[in-house]
Chain A
Amino acid sequence: MGVYIPVGPQHPIHPEAILLKLKVEGEQVVDADVDSSFVHRGIEKALEHKTWLQGLYLVERVCGICNVAHSTCYTLNVENLLGVEAPTRAQYLRLVVEELARIHSHMLWLGLLAHLIGFQSLFMLVFRDREKVLDLMEELTGNRITTAYNVVGGVRRDIDPALEHRVRSTLEELRGRVKRYRKLIEEDPSVRARTVNVGILERSEAEELHAVGPVARASGIKYDVRADDPYLVHDEVPFNVVTLETCDAWGRAMVRVEEVLESIDMIMYSLDHIPSGPIRKRVPPVFKVPPGEGIARVEAPRGELFHYAKSDGSERPYRYRMRTPTLANLAALVYMLRRGDRAVYVADVPVIFGSIDPCICCTARVFVLDERGSRVLNLEDLGRSRGR
C-alpha cells in the first residue's frame, strides 16, 4: 500500500529544482528518495577552460547565498598554490564580509523556515531585517548578493570610519531583533509544535552520515572549520562553536540563530582589532600557477565547504573539484525522511527538508551509469565513448 507523492522538481517547498519521491500512507511518510540532478551546470568542467582569475567569478556563481564562502575558499586555495598571502587587513575584511554573509544566509533560512511552517508574520519580519544586512553588504562591497569582494591577493574595497560606524549601529539594532526571534523560537508554542522532535538525527547517525554545519552541531558534534582548521584570521577572533544536543529541527533553528549572534560579535571584534595596512597584493590578471595540488576548507553558512585544485603549471586549472555542504547533508536528509522508528508526517517533510538549509544549485551532480555492466562510468570511459 501507499501512494507516491512527488515533491518537486517544481514545488513551493523550495524555489530550486529537487525531487523528493515520497511514499505516503495516509498522512505518514513510509519511504523517501531524493533526486537532485535537475540543474547540473557543469561548472567544474567549465573551470578547466577558464584562467585562474576568470575562475574566481565563475566560482562565485556556484551558489547565490554562499558566494562569499566560495570565493573565499577559491582565493585561499589559489593563493596557497601561488605562495601569496593576503595582507592581514584584507584577511580581517574578508572575515567581516564572510560573517555578514553568514548572518544574511541564516536570516534568509529563518524566514524560509517560518514560511515552510506557515508562519507568515515571522517570515515577513525576518526578511525585513535581512534587508538591512543586504544594505550593509552593498555599502561594503558594492553588491547586495554576489559580492565579488575577494580577489586573488586580497579584497577589492577598503572600509572607512563612517562606514564602520554604520556597520556597528546596524548590527547593534539587528542584535536586539535577533534576540527577539530567538525568544520566539524558544517559546512560541506553534513553532515548537512544528519543530521539536521533528527530523531527529542522533549524534551517532550524524557522524556516520557525515553531516556538516549546523545540522551536525545541532546533533552535538562540535565541528566547525573556523575553530578546527582556522583560515583567514579565525584563530585571532574569538567565538563559540554553538552546539545543541536536541538533534531535531528546532535545535538546528536555535543553532543558526545563536550563530547569527556569534557572527555579530565576531564582526564587532574584527572591527575593533583590524590593523591598518594595504588591502591587496597585486597579482597580474593572467598568471601561471606552479604545478601541484591544493585544498581549502571554509565554514560556509550551511557547513563545511571543500575545494580541491590541481594545477599543471599553466594559466588554467587542470582539475577543480568542490564539495558543497548540502551535498554532504543530503544523505542525512534522506535518512531523516525514511527512518522507520519514528512517524514522519507529510506536514513534517518541509520542516525536515528545510532544516538542512538545502541549496540545490551547488549540489547537482551527474554520473553516468552503464546499465549493462551496471557500473558508474568515469571520465576516461566517457572520453572513449565520445571518440567512438
Chain B
Amino acid sequence: MSCLALLFEWLDRKFVAKLQNRVGPKYTGPFGMLQPLADLVKLLSKEDIIPEGTKTFLFNICPVAAVLLLFIANSFVPTVHVEGVLKAEGDLIIILVIITLYLLTIYMAGSAAPSRYSLMGAARAAVMLLGFELPLMFSSLSVGFAAGGFELSKIVAKQFERPFIAGPHLIGFAIFLIAAQAELEKIPFDIPEAETEIVSGWLVELSSWRLAFFRFSKDLELVLLSGLATALYLGGPIGPVIPGLEVLLYPLYFLAKSISVLFLLSLLSTLFARIRLDQFIRLCWRYLIPLTLAYFLAMMWVV
C-alpha cells in the first residue's frame, strides 16, 4: 500500500509535468520513480521544530492519526480481489467516516499551531468541508443504494452482472471526481494550502516527520480516492479473465483503472486556476449539491 502511494505520487508528478511541458522527477531510481521516497526520507531526517505556543499533544497526534486512518480506510478497498484486505458490514460508510475524520486531523493540526496562516488554512479546510462533503457522500452512497448494500465487495460483485459506469452513474462519477479533487486539495481547490495567499496554510508550521507524515497521508488519500472511484464506478479489480489467472490479472486491472482515475484528477488540476473560497462554496451549493441530490433521488427512485 505504501509503495502504491509513492507510485501514485510519482505518476501524478510525472503526468502533470508532462502536461506542463516540464520533465518532472528524473534522477532518483528508474525514471525518477524513487523521488517521492527520497523526499519522504529527507523530510524525516530534518530538524524537528515545534513553534512556541503550540498545543503539542494535538500537533503530535494528528499526523500519526492521519496516516493510520488512511491505512485502515485503504485496507477496505478491493485491490487484488473482489474483497479488500479488511471486510466489514457497510465498509463504504466506514471509509466515508474516515475521510471526514481525516479532514478533522487536518483542521486540528492547523489550529494547534500558533501561526495565523495555519489557522486561516485550517478554517478554510473546515469551511470547504461544508461544500464537498455532501456530494462526496451522496455520490458514493447512491451507488450503494443501487447495488443494494454498502459493502464494497458487494458493490464490486454486483458489477459482474451489470456494469455501473453506463448511464446515470457517469454523473455520479463526475461528482465524485470533483469532490475528490477538493478533498485532495488539488488545484483548483487547493484553497486551504494556497501558497501565494497563506503560505501553504495549515501545513506551514509542520516540519520534519509531521510534514512527512501528512504528505504521505496525502498520497495515501490519492490511492484511497482513486481506488474508491474504481470500486464504485469502474468495477474494481474485476474484468475479463482467463481462468486461473485471476490472481495476476485482478491487480493489473485495478492498477490500470485507478491510474486512469488518477490521471483524470491530475488533468483537472492542470486545467484551472485556484478559485476563491466563497466561489467554491457558491459552486458547491448552487450546482454540485442540487445535482447530487437529484442524482441521489433518481437512484432511490430507480431502486
Contacts and interface: CB of A to CB of B under 8 A. Distances in A.
Q: Do A and B bind each other?
A: yes
Interface of A: 3, 5, 11-13, 24, 27, 114-122, 124-125, 128, 188, 190-191, 193-194, 345-350
Interface string B3-31: 00000000000001001111000000000
A87 B44 CA distance: 63
A122 B2 CA distance: 32
B190 interface: yes
A11 B274 CA distance: 18
B208 interface: no
B120 interface: yes
A81 to B, nearest CB: 44
Contacts of A348: 276
Contacts of A13: 196-197
Interface string B168-205: 00000000000000000001101100111111000000
Given A121-B20, A125-B21, A346-B120, A114 B197 contact: no
A270 B4 CA distance: 58
Given A5-B116, A124-B22, A11 B199 contact: yes
Given A121-B20, A121-B270, A121-B271, A3 B116 contact: yes
B166 interface: no
Contacts of B199: 11-12
A124 B21 contact: yes
Nearest to B119: A3
8 contacts: A27-B278, A118-B187, A118-B194, A118-B273, A190-B272, A190-B273, A345-B278, A346-B198
Interface string B188-226: 101100111111000000000000000000000000000
Contacts of A117: 196, 273-274
> Which of B22, B116, B197, B279 has the largest number of chain A CB atoms within 10 A?
B197
B274 A118 contact: yes
B21 to A, nearest CB: 6
Contacts of A119: 187, 272-274
Given A11-B199, A120-B187, A347 B277 contact: yes
A347 B195 CA distance: 10
A346 B19 CA distance: 30
Contacts of B117: 5
Contacts of A27: 124, 277-278
Interface residues of B, number: 29
Contacts of B198: 346
A387 B288 CA distance: 72
Contacts of B16: 120
A156 B271 CA distance: 44
> Which of A11, A27, A120 has the largest number of chain B CB atoms within 10 A?
A120
Nearest to B283: A193
A56 to B, nearest CB: 36
Given A27-B124, A347-B191, 18 more contacts: A5-B117, A114-B273, A117-B196, A118-B190, A118-B195, A118-B273, A120-B270, A121-B19, A121-B270, A121-B271, A124-B21, A188-B273, A191-B273, A193-B279, A194-B276, A345-B276, A345-B277, A348-B276
Nearest to A28: B278
A190 B20 contact: no
A118 to B, nearest CB: 3
A114 B199 CA distance: 16
> Which of A11, A117, A118, A190 has the largest number of chain B CB atoms within 10 A?
A118
A338 B226 CA distance: 43
A226 B16 CA distance: 42
A350 B276 CA distance: 12
Contact of A193 (B20, B22, B276): B276
A380 B197 CA distance: 43
A319 B278 CA distance: 51
B283 to A, nearest CB: 9
Nearest to A112: B196
B275 interface: yes
Contact of A124 (B20, B190, B195): B20
A194 B20 contact: no
Contacts of A193: 273, 275-276, 279
Shortest 3 CB-CB distances between A and B: which pairs? Answer: A118-B274, A119-B273, A124-B20
Given A347-B197, A350-B196, A118 B188 contact: yes
A318 B302 CA distance: 88
A284 B209 CA distance: 63
A346 B197 contact: yes
A69 B197 CA distance: 31
A349 B120 CA distance: 14
> Which of B21, B124, B273, B277 has the largest number of chain A CB atoms within 10 A?
B273
Interface string B96-127: 00000000000000000000110010001000
Contacts of B194: 118, 347
Contacts of A120: 16, 20, 187, 270
A13 B196 CA distance: 5
B270 A115 contact: no
A194 B21 contact: no
Contacts of A121: 19-20, 270-271
Contacts of B271: 121
Contacts of A5: 116-117, 120
Contacts of B278: 27, 345
Contacts of B279: 193
Given A120-B187, A125-B21, A194 B196 contact: no
A332 to B, nearest CB: 21
Contact of A347 (B21, B22, B272, B276): B276
B126 to A, nearest CB: 12
Interface string B262-275: 00000000111111
Nearest to A347: B276
B294 to A, nearest CB: 23
A328 to B, nearest CB: 24
B226 to A, nearest CB: 21
